[in-house]
Structure 1
Amino acid sequence: MWEMVAETTGLGPVTIKAFLAVGMPLNNGAALQNAELDEPWAEGVRRIRPGLFDHITTGANR
């Protein structure tokens, strides 16, 4: 998966790993329908907001 993302985006390994690491709890939260849960752990996952990676561009990563 890392290689495909690297080839597609031109981003470096650290940026890709950070993106994938944040994506895991987002995917799990969506699968568990955390938006409907009133639990502290669910709120922690929901705290990740859109735009988190807007600053990461091919130019910024070089």
Structure 2
Amino acid sequence: MIKTQPSENSQKILESLKSTAIKTLETKHKLGQYVVVWKNNQICLEGQDTPLCNKVK
């Protein structure tokens, strides 16, 4: 049987993970730290202190 909706417990876990990710990204932004994200099907380094030798374009 294929479920179309995740269980209530799975939804709570997902919301917790989303909230944690958002808080972490906000904190890193406030501290001026770079983040590694997946964008346009590739790894991308973003932020003020992104190492020049590791910038992905």
User: Structure 1 length as normaliser, TM-score?
Assistant: 0.37
Higher normalized contact order (CA 8 Å, seq sep 6+, divided by chain length): 1
State the TM-score, normalized to the length of structure 2: 0.40
Find the structure with the greater CA-based Rg: 2
